[in-house]
C-alpha cells in the first residue's frame, strides 16, 4: 500500500519511534497518515500533552480508568468522549508508566474520499472534512471501541503510517486550543499554509486568569 501523494511505500511507525517526549512526537506526527479501513488522513495539526507536570493533561491528577491508555506503552490510540457528543483521538507517547500523548487536531483526507464525504455530508469542501479533532475522528469512523488499539500492529484496525516529512520551515507552533489552564503553552503544531488546519480558539474568560508555566520533563 502507498500513501497518497507519495512515491514511496508506506510503513507503520514503530513503538520506539513514538516512545519520546510528546513535544517531539507532535512534530514527528505532522505529515504522517492515520488509516482506518479505506480512509486515510494525513495529519496537519496536533497538540502535545504531558502528564503529572502538565495541568492541561488528562493525567495531571493521576491514573484513572478513563486515562489508563495514556500511561503507555507508546503507540496506542487514546480515544475519549467530549462535550457529550464528540470523540477525540490521541497517539500515546513516552514509556510504559509515564503518561504522555499527542492530540490529533486536524488533517487532510488522502484516501477513501467518498466514504469520508458520506460521513461528513455537511462539510463545505474536502479541506473541511477532517478540519478539527471531532471531524477527524468522524471521517475515520473512530469511536470508544477504538480506545487502546495498537497503531504499530500490522493487524490493527487503525494504523499510523509514515508519510512525507514536513520541512521544519513549514512547521508553526502556538498555544493549545480551548484548554482551561496552561493555555499559553505553545505546544500546538501545524503545517503552515494547509487549508485543513483548524481555527484557533482561545480558552474562556476563566482560563485567561490562569497562566501556568511551561511544563518540563527531566531529559
pLDDT at 216: 53
Q: pTM for this one?
A: 0.87
pLDDT in tens, 45-74: 999 988 878 887 787 777 888 888 988 899
Ramachandran area for residue 148 (φ above 0: left; ψ -120 to 50: alpha; else beta)? left
pLDDT in tens, 116-144: 999 999 999 999 999 999 999 999 999 99
* Longest distance between any two alpha carbons in the chain, whole Å: 49
Q: Which CATH architecture group holds 15-208?
A: Roll (3.10)
Name the pairing type of β-strands 33-36 and 158-161.
antiparallel
Interval 3-9 mean pLDDT? 48
The grid coordinates of residue 23 equal 513535544
Amino acid at each position: 500500500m502507498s500513501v497518497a501523494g507519495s512515491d514511496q511505500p508506506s510503513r507503520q511507525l514503530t513503538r520506539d519511534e513514538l516512545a519520546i517526549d510528546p513535544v517531539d512526537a507532535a512534530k514527528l506526527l505532522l505529515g504522517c497518515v492515520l488509516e482506518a479501513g479505506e480512509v486515510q488522513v494525513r495529519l496537519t495539526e496536533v497538540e502535545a500533552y504531558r502528564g503529572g507536570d502538565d495541568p492541561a493533561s488528562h493525567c495531571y491528577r493521576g491514573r484513572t480508568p478513563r486515562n489508563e491508555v495514556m500511561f503507555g506503552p507508546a503507540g496506542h490510540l487514546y480515544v475519549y468522549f467530549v462535550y457529550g457528543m464528540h470523540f477525540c483521538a490521541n497517539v500515546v507517547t513516552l514509556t510504559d508508566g509515564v503518561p504522555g500523548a499527542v492530540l490529533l487536531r486536524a488533517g487532510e483526507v488522502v484516501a477513501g474520499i467518498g466514504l469520508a464525504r458520506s460521513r461528513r455530508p455537511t462539510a463545505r469542501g474536502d479541506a473541511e472534512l477532517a478540519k478539527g479533532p471531532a471531524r477527524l475522528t468522524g471521517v475515520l469512523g473512530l469511536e470508544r471501541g477504538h480506545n487502546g488499539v495498537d497503531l504499530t500492529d500490522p493487524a490493527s484496525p487503525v494504523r499510523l503510517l509514515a508519510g512525507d516529512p514536513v520541512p521544519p520551515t513549514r512547521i508553526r507552533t502556538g498555544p493549545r486550543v480551548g484548554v482551561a489552564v496552561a493555555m499559553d503553552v505553545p505546544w500546538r503544531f501545524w503545517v503552515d499554509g494547509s487549508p485543513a488546519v483548524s481555527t484557533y480558539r482561545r480558552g474562556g474568560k476563566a482560563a485567561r486568569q490562569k497562566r501556568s508555566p511551561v511544563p518540563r520533563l527531566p531529559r
